[in-house]
Amino acid sequence: MRRAVHRSQSTIAALLIEIRDGTGTIPHAYFSWAEGNPFINFIRFLFVGDDEVATMTREFLREAKPDPEKRPRVHVG
């Protein structure tokens, strides 16, 4: 399951970059916070790397595109 989640995060990042390159505009992706206890979610993310799609998508984008002005935007709320 962890590998499938990891793949979806990199796929979202790649899709956002493709949209940016194809349209010439900076796309925005909107995510919601995970349900449940925030502390438990943090611990699960810290030790298992599970569930934080928005965080990992942003990290993939940050590594792929170092210039923040050209990087697709990720919003969490």
pLDDT in tens, 9-62: 889 999 999 999 999 999 999 988 767 787 887 777 777 766 678 888 999 999
Report the SS3 class of residue 47: helix
Work out the pLDDT band at 68, boundaries 50, 70, 90: very high
Answer whether 0.95 is exceeded by the pTM: no
Q: What is the structure's pLDDT at 77?
A: 77
Eight-class DSSP state of 29: E
As a whole number of angstroms, the distance between CA 46 and CA 30 comes to 22
Helix 53-64, helix 2-23: angle, nearest 10: 50
Q: What is the tens place of the pLDDT at every residue in 43-56?
A: 777 777 666 788 88
Q: What is the structure's pLDDT at 61?
A: 95
The encoded tokens of residue 15 equal 């899709």
Letter for the amino acid at 49?
Answer: G
